[in-house]
Amino acid sequence: MIVEDNEGKRIDSYLSEKLDLSRSKVQKLIKEEKVLVNGKKVNSSYSVRLDDEIIVDDELDYEIKVDPEDIPLNIIYEDDDLLIINKESGMVVHPAPGHYTGTLVNALLFRYKNLAGDKFRPGIVHRLDKDTSGLMLVAKNEFTLEKLSEMISKKEVERKYLAIVDGVIKEDSGEIDAPIGRDRNNRQKMAVTDVNSKNAITHFRVLERFNNNTLIECILDTGRTHQIRVHMAYIGYPVCNDPLYGKGKTEFGQMLHSYSIKLNHPRTSKELFYTVEAPKEFNDKLESLRNE
């Protein structure tokens, strides 16, 4: 989170209010070095400053309550086993420090009472970043949760993304094979690194070129955190409007959209194949680039 108010307030008091946690619980998190300010450890008496970047470890090992909320969802497909939803940009998938309400999980808990899986991530088999829009799978029972997780690990679920990136890519297609791990200098970011990393492979194909941007399609062999965003920045073509890896965010988030998903149903083996249009803001950006 970025400090926008309460300059000069003790960080334990500030986080207690913002995260709806007891002050003693926040102090415990700070003592356990699960709170970083601008990438550095602090003590509980630290006075927050405007534009401080505060990262709280997102391992929810302390007691919080995740409440059902009547939040509209764009459901593309549903049966007794699974959902395919079109997540809007700006929606957080599951609760984490600073985001205990308004998430996809809050919406799912309102509609479905017995979803399988972790209590903070019920039904979630994969995720999209907050500002990434598009298609997501949700499991409605234990059988489907296990099967979908297995299918994703075996690359039996094909997901395609559209992205507008900064810069003009000369190659018509390419493969980025570079391991991704936590950025050692900023825990909010991921990075291409050999330290505590996992293999990551992204395929891209150029769909359209503009004066200073490129529209591409991406297919993932792996599903690492921020994978497309990290990989495209790594080769010098960050996703447009990316606040972490690019030139910064405008009113709309990064221009990244999960537009296609294809899999065989985990129970019936029937092929499920769906595509969705990118958000209006994405298409408006494309139109403005075409008119340059």
Rounded-to-integer distance, Cα 31 and Cα 45, Å: 11
Distance of CA 114 to the CA centre of its chain: 24
Domain ranges of the chain: 11-56, 75-290
Whether residue 129 lies in the annotated active site = yes
Note the pLDDT of residue 171. 97
pLDDT in tens, 84-114: 999 999 999 987 766 678 899 999 999 998 8
Rounded-to-integer distance, Cα 32 and Cα 25, Å: 11
The average confidence (pLDDT) of the chain is 89
Counted residue by residue, the chain has a size of 292
Tell me which range, 36-40, 57-61, 77-81, is most confidently predicted by mean pLDDT: 77-81
Rounded-to-integer distance, Cα 200 and Cα 224, Å: 7
Using the predicted structure, report yes or no on whether residue 5 has a pLDDT greater than 70.
no
Amino acid residing at 129: D
pLDDT in tens, 183-220: 888 777 899 999 889 999 999 999 999 999 999 999 99
Using the predicted structure, report yes or no on whether residue 276 has a pLDDT greater than 90.
yes
Q: Which of 80, 94, 75, 190 is nearest to 136 (CA)?
A: 75
DSSP of 118-167: -TTSTTBSS---TT-EEEEEEESSHHHHHHHHHHHHTT-SEEEEEEEEES
Rounded-to-integer distance, Cα 95 and Cα 198, Å: 24
What value does the mean pLDDT take over residues 74-79? 97
User: In the CATH scheme, what is the code of domain 11-56?
Assistant: 3.10.290.10
Using the predicted structure, report yes or no on whether residue 258 has a pLDDT greater than 90.
yes
**Tokens linked to 104:** 């996809």
The CATH number of 75-290, from 3.20.20.100, 3.40.50.10490, 3.30.230.10, 3.30.2350.10, is 3.30.2350.10
Which position among 57, 70, 79, 129 bears the catalytic label?
Answer: 129
Q: Which of 2, 242, 229 is nearest to 98 (CA)?
A: 2
